[in-house]
C-alpha cells in the first residue's frame, strides 16, 4: 500500500477530457500529451476507452509502449469483450490498469439497465474477476455513486474488494454532491466496508455545480487517496476536477499533511499544451493557469504586490511555471504601478516626473482598456518635453 499522506493523481485528460465536443485528438497529439503527463509526475494516465474505436485502441496501445513511470489505464464497461480488448491494448504497458465498472444508483439500475441491485452486484463481481485474469491492478468505478445510497454502495464495494479490486472509484458523475456530502460518503465507506484498508479510495468529481475541486478535497480529507482529474478541468458538460487546482490546494495547505508527486513548475506549460492541442481556450480568470491568475489591475492591489507579493497573492507564480506577476495598467492603476512598469522598460522617474507622467497616463487610460509598453513610451515623450528623463 502507498504512504498514507500520498495522494495519487489520476489524469483522465485523454479519456474523459477528450469527450468534449470538438476536442478530438489524433494519436500523435495523445502521445505528446501522455509524455508530458508522465514528466509532470501524474501517477496514472487514463489513455482511453479501447473498445470504443480503432483509434482509441491504437492510442492506448502506443501510449503503453512509451510511458516509463506512470500506470497506464484503459476504461471498460462491465462487459467481457470490453475488458479483453482493453487488456490487449495495455499489453505493452509497464504498469497496466483496467478500469471497469457499472452504474449503482437507483436511476441507473432502473432506467439504464432495467435491472436489480443484486444483478448489478453480480455483474460488478464478474467484471473485476475477469479483469484480474489479465492484470493485477484493477480499478472499479461505481458510476453515479454520488446519488447511490451509502448502504448499497458499501455492499458493492465490499463485493468487488473480495473479487480483487485494488482501487475503488466513487464518482460524483452528475456533479450533484455538496463537499460535506461527498466527504461523508467517503468516511462512511472507510468505516463500513470490510477490507477497505487494503484498497485505494478514489475521487472522480464533475463540475456541474462548480463543486468538483471542493468535493475532491473533501474526499481526500476523509480518506480517499486518489484524485481523478484533467488538465484545465476539461471534460464533458461543465468539466471535471482540474488537476492544477487540487494539486495546488494540497500544496498551499500543508496542515492537511497530504502530498502529490506533481512537479508544479510544469503546470502552466502543460495547460498551454492541452489547450492548444484541443483547441479549447481557458477563461482568463481560470484559477492557477488563466491569463489573469497572477495579474493585478486595481491600484490598491498593485501597490501592495509591488511592495510585497504576499499582500495579494497566496502562491508564487513561479511555483506553477508563470514567470512573474503581471501589473496591468488601466484607468484604475495608481502612480506606483506606472512607476513600476516604466522602470521595467528603462525609465527611472523622479516624483515630479511621475506626477507629470501620471496625468498624461490617465488621459491615455480613459481612451483604451489597457496601457501597453508602447503607450508608456509615448507618455514619456510627453513628459520629456517638460522635464529631463533619467534613464535607468
Q: What's residue 308's pLDDT?
A: 80
The whole-number average pLDDT for the span 108-118 is: 96
Supply the DSSP string of 303-345, one letter for each residue.
HHHHH-GGGT-SS-GGGGT--S-EE-B-TT--HHHHHHHHHHT
Whether 389 has a pLDDT exceeding 90, the answer reads no
Whether 314 has a pLDDT exceeding 70, the answer reads yes
Label residues 246-285 b or e (16+ Cβ within 10 Å = b). bbbbbbeeeeeebebebebebbbbbbebbbebbeeebeee
The whole-number average pLDDT for the span 187-207 is: 98
**Contacts of residue 228, Cβ cutoff 8 Å, sequence gap at least 6:** 10, 11, 12, 16, 46, 169, 171, 202, 203, 204, 205, 240, 241
Whole-angstrom distance, CA of residue 276 vs CA of residue 288: 17
What are the structural domains of the chain? 8-278 (3.20.20.70), 295-385 (no CATH)
Taking the mean position of all CA atoms in its chain, how far away is CA 355? Answer: 45
Angle among Cα 143, 149, 154 to the nearest 5 degrees reads: 75
Q: What's residue 1's pLDDT?
A: 44
pLDDT in tens, 50-100: 999 999 999 999 999 999 999 999 999 999 999 999 999 999 999 999 999
Mean pLDDT check: name the lowest of 46-55, 215-224, 354-363. 354-363
Backbone angles phi, psi at 240, to 5 degrees: -105, 180
Whether 388 has a pLDDT exceeding 70, the answer reads no
**Contacts of residue 87, Cβ cutoff 8 Å, sequence gap at least 6:** 74, 96, 98, 131, 134, 135
The helix (H) or strand (E) run that includes residue 143 is strand 137-143
Q: What's residue 305's pLDDT?
A: 76
Grid look-up 513610451 returns 377
Q: What's residue 387's pLDDT?
A: 62
Mean pLDDT check: name the lowest of 162-166, 241-245, 360-364. 360-364
Amino acid at each position: 500500500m502507498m504512504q498514507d499522506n500520498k495522494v495519487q493523481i489520476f489524469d483522465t485528460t485523454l479519456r474523459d477530457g477528450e469527450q468534449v465536443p470538438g476536442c478530438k485528438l489524433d494519436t500523435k497529439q495523445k502521445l505528446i500529451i501522455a509524455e508530458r503527463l508522465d514528466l509532470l509526475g501524474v501517477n496514472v494516465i487514463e489513455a482511453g476507452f479501447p473498445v470504443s474505436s480503432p483509434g482509441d485502441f491504437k492510442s492506448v496501445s502506443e501510449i503503453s509502449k512509451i510511458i516509463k513511470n506512470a500506470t497506464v489505464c484503459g476504461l471498460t464497461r462491465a462487459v467481457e469483450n470490453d475488458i479483453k480488448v482493453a487488456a490487449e491494448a495495455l499489453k505493452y504497458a509497464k504498469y497496466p490498469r483496467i478500469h471497469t465498472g457499472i452504474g449503482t444508483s437507483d436511476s441507473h439500475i432502473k432506467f439504464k439497465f432495467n435491472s436489480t441491485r443484486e444483478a448489478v452486484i453480480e455483474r460488478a463481481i464478474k467484471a473485476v474477476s475477469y479483469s484480474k485474469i489479465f492484470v493485477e491492478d484493477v480499478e472499479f468505478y461505481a458510476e453515479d455513486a454520488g446519488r447511490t445510497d451509502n448502504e448499497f454502495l458499501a455492499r458493492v464495494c465490499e463485493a468487488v474488494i473480495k473479487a480483487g479490486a485494488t482501487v475503488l472509484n466513487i464518482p460524483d458523475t452528475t456533479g450533484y454532491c455538496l463537499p460535506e456530502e461527498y466527504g461523508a460518503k467517503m468516511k462512511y465507506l472507510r468505516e463500513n466496508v470490510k477490507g477497505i484498508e487494503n484498497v485505494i479510495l478514489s475521487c472522480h468529481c464533475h463540475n456541474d455545480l462548480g463543486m468538483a475541486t471542493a468535493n475532491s478535497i473533501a474526499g481526500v480529507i476523509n480518506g480517499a487517496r486518489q484524485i481523478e482529474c484533467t488538465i484545465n478541468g476539461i471534460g464533458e458538460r461543465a468539466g471535471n476536477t482540474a488537476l492544477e487546482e487540487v494539486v495546488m490546494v494540497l500544496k498551499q495547505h500543508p496542515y492537511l499533511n497530504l502530498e502529490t508527486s506533481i512537479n508544479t513548475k510544469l503546470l502552466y506549460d502543460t495547460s498551454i499544451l492541452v489547450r492548444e492541442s484541443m483547441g479549447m481556450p481557458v477563461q482568463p480568470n481560470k484559477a492557477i493557469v488563466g491569463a489573469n491568475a497572477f495579474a493585478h489591475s486595481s491600484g490598491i492591489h498593485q501597490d501592495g504586490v509591488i511592495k510585497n507579493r504576499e499582500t495579494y497573492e497566496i502562491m508564487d507564480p513561479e511555483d506553477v511555471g508563470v514567470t512573474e506577476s503581471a501589473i496591468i495598467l488601466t484607468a484604475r492603476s495608481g502612480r506606483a504601478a506606472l512607476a513600476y512598469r516604466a522602470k521595467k522598460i528603462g525609465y527611472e522617474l523622479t516624483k515630479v516626473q511621475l506626477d507629470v507622467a501620471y496625468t498624461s497616463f490617465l488621459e491615455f487610460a480613459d481612451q483604451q482598456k489597457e496601457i501597453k509598453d508602447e503607450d508608456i513610451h509615448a507618455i514619456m515623450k510627453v513628459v520629456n518635453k517638460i522635464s529631463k528623463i533619467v534613464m535607468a
